[in-house]
Amino acid sequence: KAGVTQTPRYLIKTRGQQVTLSCSPISGHRSVSWYQQTPGQGLQFLFEYFSETQRNKGNFPGRFSGRQFSNSRSEMNVSTLELGDSALYLCASSPMGSNNGNQYFGPGTRLLVL
Amino acid sequence: TQLLEQSPQFLSIQEGENLTVYCNSSSVFSSLQWYRQEPGEGPVLLVTVVTGGEVKKLKRLTFQFGDARKDSSLHITAAQPGDTGLYLCAGNMNRDDKIIFGKGTRLHILP
């Protein structure tokens, strides 16, 4: 089985721009979770989608949003980028949800905001 | 407030030595997971522990979940350079809660 794929792998944006990141889960997995990883804060949960519905949400501002499509692929969007949004964005898929099974992570998208 | 505290933050030891890293909380967790992350990659799940007092072994790695389900430890026997990486613990307090991660222990094994 192919693993979790994320595109793009690297991205450079400037403050005020917006960005869309994509995640393709493992075939058959219905849950996709998104995380932000920074050296200072570690891995922080953004949100989880299951069967196209947001199941859980972390403590991030409304500039961070996501969606999931009928084929389980997911996108996250960050609007009005700030310098502090520079981070590694990871997505993870699981068959029945992050709390009910193992999570499999993608390699991440490294976002640099200038 | 960090709900899952990992210690030490950094550890550098010689190949062949044994080591233990810790994941502690003041809260009870329904399950805890341990991941290893290498540079440029996402975390890879090593183990999930769900029962207080549970011990799981994965080759030279031994994982233990505390009796009260508030803490966990990872012991590596005869560390090898391939064990180098960032070790993360993660868990959820209730079944429907989001997963919380610790900040990790960065382990470096010197050949």
B85-97 residue pLDDT tens: 999 999 988 766 7
The verdict on a CB contact (< 8 Å) between A102 and B103 is no
For testing contact with chain B, the best of A99, A104, A110 (most B CBs within 10 A): A99
Task: Give B56's contacts (C-beta < 8 A, 6+ positions apart).
Answer: B47, B49, B62, B63, B64
Q: Max Cα separation, chain B?
A: 43
Q: Write out chain B residues lying below 8 Å of A57, CB-based.
A: 98
Confidence of residue B3 (pLDDT cuts 50, 70, 90): confident
Distance from CA of B46 to the nearest CA of A (A): 10
The sheet with strand B5-7 has its strands ordered as B5-7, B19-24, B71-76, B61-65, B55-58
| Cα–Cα dist B79/B4, whole Å | 24
Nearest to B36 by CA among B72, B78, B90: B90
| Cα–Cα dist B20/B74, whole Å | 6
The verdict on a CB contact (< 8 Å) between B97 and A99 is yes
A88, A109 contact by CB (below 8 A): yes
Q: Does an H or E element contain A65, and which? A: strand A64-68
Give the tens place of pLDDT for each residue, A37-57.
Answer: 998 889 999 999 999 999 889
Residue of B nearest to A103 (CA): B45
Give the tens place of pLDDT for each residue, B28-87.
Answer: 998 899 999 998 899 999 999 999 999 999 999 999 999 999 999 999 999 999 999 999
Of A43-57, A88-102, B94-108, give the range with the top mean pLDDT: A43-57
The verdict on a CB contact (< 8 Å) between B48 and A104 is no
A70, A53 contact by CB (below 8 A): no
For testing contact with chain A, the best of B34, B50, B93, B98 (most A CBs within 10 A): B98
Task: Give A73's contacts (C-beta < 8 A, 6+ positions apart).
Answer: A22, A23, A24, A25, A32
Nearest to B58 by CA among B38, B39, B33: B33
The rounded radius of gyration (Å) of the Cα atoms in chain B is: 13
Q: Write out chain A residues lying below 8 Å of B100, CB-based.
A: 45
Q: Which amino acid is at A19?
A: V
The verdict on a CB contact (< 8 Å) between B42 and A105 is yes
B73, B20 contact by CB (below 8 A): yes
Sign of CA dihedral A54, A59, A60, A61: positive
Q: B82: which DSSP letter?
A: G
